[in-house]
Chain A
């Protein structure tokens, strides 16, 4: 696609001479100031640390060189980059050595994201990313990026690209609520963040030349040797958690502050958010295929949930962990709010992903999870036990304790995971739920399903336990009904996509399915 459009653009540019030059615009000149300020900041910090550690002059002297190089590069990039918006296309010409002309038909534009990091915000700039939703090569190839325009230009470009016929009022669907802050630390990441804060302190001390390995840690160990270990743990562990919770809270604030989800006059959904880094993403309504409610275990215990859109060109597997997941419809928020927003986004009375009336999965699915839990226990306990027989008898005891604990925890998870399994077909949606550490409930529009997959392990042939997957053109692309009996799964497929499977079902089908 890119190749043909390239040549077409070049021919047009060559053929019509000066008229083709019309409409081409530069990026905002202040992008050079971004790197000047950023580079100067980094250089100053580096020099300060070097001065503090009394580095020789020949180490300090070259510090500005890369900074100057980057500034020069940015200035060249600014000079060499042009963009324009025509009636049919958004076009960008860029590149220092290899000139590149990208052109995206405006009707192919599926998302327009505007974001600004702190320096850009100070200077009144914003980066615009135009997505087509087509991931032919990498995710990057599907995006045309303008780094950066003035905030007003960025906003105007965004409005021009997403505007369809009709003006009207924006309708606010959801707005950030400070009480949601409590969901920030409800994550397994909290203790890890506490530990990483300790790591960051260590790293800083090391850079500043305090030699923590040689001085601080021996002193700490020395002190620990004399202190009451129980008290140290009793104070240290909560302190660590507290620090972790503070970091998690800060992270939540930075990511979700001022969140707003609005329906624009033409029907697109726009989510904007962020404290230091402002981000905004627009989802076109016609590429919305459903919603997903994701509940990581701790968040679920606290009554909260993530809400995502299943949409073309957003929320792929690689995007889920990133801070700027363009498919997010809400911050981690109370589950009731999550259902309300999901229902409103889909324009339904009630969120179809509300779990009521899900068909539970067969007991074979429970048996399978129990087998996994037992296997995990045998492995976790067996390895130390075997080593114990061979090397050190005390390990044998460690082995059976570990096995028992793993078995208990594993069975609890197995039970939870089994109870969470479920699926249902409504008149417009396929609803499916699975997972324990992260429970996902997905409601997928039936007419968005573009294919079906049935996956079965050879040893499940007799029990006919299998996984039925609906594939779609967005989100994580494949949504599973995990561990259903093949007959149940096929009944769902046959009803969701009438006639599709009929020629391939083996003879002995019941005459009336609803009998």
Chain B
């Protein structure tokens, strides 16, 4: 069978370019914003409500321990996974951490190219490039690019998409 010949198996190589190193800080900040508030609130309640202290601390631990693992592991892991590449024909991205996604979209099928900068991202001077196609299955995103680089990527992609469509028509 085809599978038995290990050397012949095609595999996807990672896209060539990594995202900005500051993205690690951004993802860390995101993780902290998600994990800290519930833990802090339950911890505070544990300080104030003596009779229920044991149970409150227990629930804080139930949220806090996986949260701590998430905070410690996710940003670095994501940084190793998130990569991107553009060629004259396609956009190619990889994203995720535990669940990883490779996505390919041909230039000729691109409808819009935008950047999004959330408040946390702005603190770190980063941008997300969003590439939509006609599919409602969700856009391709390149998260955590340097703002100026993101602008260049958008201009570049917009031009290529235009050219690609011209060829296709």
Instruction: Report whether B12 and A504 are in contact in the complex, using a CB–CB cutoff of 8 Å.
Output: yes
Whether A478 contacts B13 in the complex (CB less than 8 A), given A452-B104, A455-B99, comes out as no
Check if B9 is an interface residue, CB within 8 A of chain A. Answer: yes
Please name the 10 residue pairs, one residue from A and one from B, whose CB atoms are nearest each other, closest first. Answer: A473-B134, A487-B9, A510-B8, A478-B137, A477-B137, A471-B135, A450-B109, A451-B105, A454-B102, A506-B13
- Nearest CB on A from B15, distance (A): 7
Instruction: Report whether B105 and A508 are in contact in the complex, using a CB–CB cutoff of 8 Å.
Output: no
Contact of B12 (CB < 8 Å), options: A362, A478, A488, A501: A501
Instruction: Report whether B135 and A490 are in contact in the complex, using a CB–CB cutoff of 8 Å.
Output: no
Q: Flag the segment in B19-27, B85-93, B147-155 that touches A.
A: B85-93
Instruction: Report whether B137 and A454 are in contact in the complex, using a CB–CB cutoff of 8 Å.
Output: no
Contact partners of A316 in chain B: CB under 8 A: 136
- In the complex, A458 Cα to B92 Cα: how many Å? 19
- In the complex, A469 Cα to B101 Cα: how many Å? 10
Check if B3 is an interface residue, CB within 8 A of chain A. Answer: yes
- Nearest CB on B from A486, distance (A): 6
Whether A457 contacts B9 in the complex (CB less than 8 A), given A450-B133, A450-B135, A488-B3, comes out as no
Instruction: Report whether B12 and A473 are in contact in the complex, using a CB–CB cutoff of 8 Å.
Output: no
Interface residues of A in 440-479 (CB under 8 A from B): 450-458, 464, 469, 471-473, 477-478
Whether A504 contacts B15 in the complex (CB less than 8 A), given A451-B103, A458-B97, A487-B3, comes out as yes
Whether A472 contacts B135 in the complex (CB less than 8 A), given A452-B103, A500-B104, comes out as yes
- In the complex, A504 Cα to B11 Cα: how many Å? 8
Instruction: Report whether A504 and B134 are in contact in the complex, using a CB–CB cutoff of 8 Å.
Output: no
Instruction: Report whether B12 and A486 are in contact in the complex, using a CB–CB cutoff of 8 Å.
Output: yes
Interface residues of A in 486-515 (CB under 8 A from B): 486-488, 490-491, 494, 497, 499-501, 503-506, 508-510
Interface residues of A in 126-152 (CB under 8 A from B): 135
Contact partners of B10 in chain A: CB under 8 A: 486-487, 490-491, 494, 505-506, 509-510
- Nearest CB on B from A268, distance (A): 20
- In the complex, A499 Cα to B104 Cα: how many Å? 12
Interface string of B113-136 (1 = CB under 8 A from A): 000000000000000000001111
Instruction: Report whether B89 and A510 are in contact in the complex, using a CB–CB cutoff of 8 Å.
Output: no
Check if B167 is an interface residue, CB within 8 A of chain A. Answer: no
Residues of B within 8 A of A (CB): 2-3, 5, 7-13, 15, 85, 87, 89-90, 92, 97-106, 109, 133-137, 140
- Nearest CB on A from B114, distance (A): 13
Q: Name the residue in B12, B99, B105 with the highest tally of chain A Cβ atoms < 10 Å from its Cβ.
A: B12
- Nearest CB on B from A427, distance (A): 20
Instruction: Report whether B11 and A455 are in contact in the complex, using a CB–CB cutoff of 8 Å.
Output: no
Instruction: Report whether B137 and A487 are in contact in the complex, using a CB–CB cutoff of 8 Å.
Output: no
Whether A455 contacts B100 in the complex (CB less than 8 A), given A494-B10, A508-B7, comes out as yes
Instruction: Report whether A451 and B104 are in contact in the complex, using a CB–CB cutoff of 8 Å.
Output: yes
Contact partners of A464 in chain B: CB under 8 A: 9, 11
- Nearest CB on A from B2, distance (A): 7
Check if A485 is an interface residue, CB within 8 A of chain B. Answer: yes
Instruction: Report whether A500 and B8 are in contact in the complex, using a CB–CB cutoff of 8 Å.
Output: no
Closest to A455 in B: B101
- In the complex, A453 Cα to B138 Cα: how many Å? 11
Residues of A within 8 A of B (CB): 135, 312, 316, 362, 450-458, 464, 469, 471-473, 477-478, 485-488, 490-491, 494, 497, 499-501, 503-506, 508-510
Closest to A478 in B: B137
- Nearest CB on A from B156, distance (A): 17
- In the complex, A484 Cα to B115 Cα: how many Å? 34
Instruction: Report whether B104 and A501 are in contact in the complex, using a CB–CB cutoff of 8 Å.
Output: yes
- Nearest CB on A from B169, distance (A): 15
13 new A-B contacts at CB < 8 Å, known A464-B11, A472-B135, A505-B10 = A316-B136, A451-B109, A455-B102, A456-B99, A456-B101, A458-B99, A458-B100, A473-B134, A486-B11, A487-B9, A504-B92, A505-B11, A508-B9
- In the complex, A117 Cα to B7 Cα: how many Å? 63
Instruction: Report whether A477 and B5 are in contact in the complex, using a CB–CB cutoff of 8 Å.
Output: no
- Nearest CB on B from A312, distance (A): 8
Closest to B136 in A: A477
Q: Name the residue in A450, A473, A497 with the highest tally of chain B Cβ atoms < 10 Å from its Cβ.
A: A450
Contact partners of B109 in chain A: CB under 8 A: 450-451
Instruction: Report whether A504 and B13 are in contact in the complex, using a CB–CB cutoff of 8 Å.
Output: yes
Instruction: Report whether B3 and A504 are in contact in the complex, using a CB–CB cutoff of 8 Å.
Output: no
Instruction: Report whether B89 and A471 are in contact in the complex, using a CB–CB cutoff of 8 Å.
Output: no
Instruction: Report whether A487 and B100 are in contact in the complex, using a CB–CB cutoff of 8 Å.
Output: no
Contact partners of A506 in chain B: CB under 8 A: 10-13
Whether A451 contacts B15 in the complex (CB less than 8 A), given A504-B104, A508-B8, comes out as no
- In the complex, A502 Cα to B130 Cα: how many Å? 24
Contact of B135 (CB < 8 Å), options: A473, A485, A487: A473
Contact partners of A469 in chain B: CB under 8 A: 137
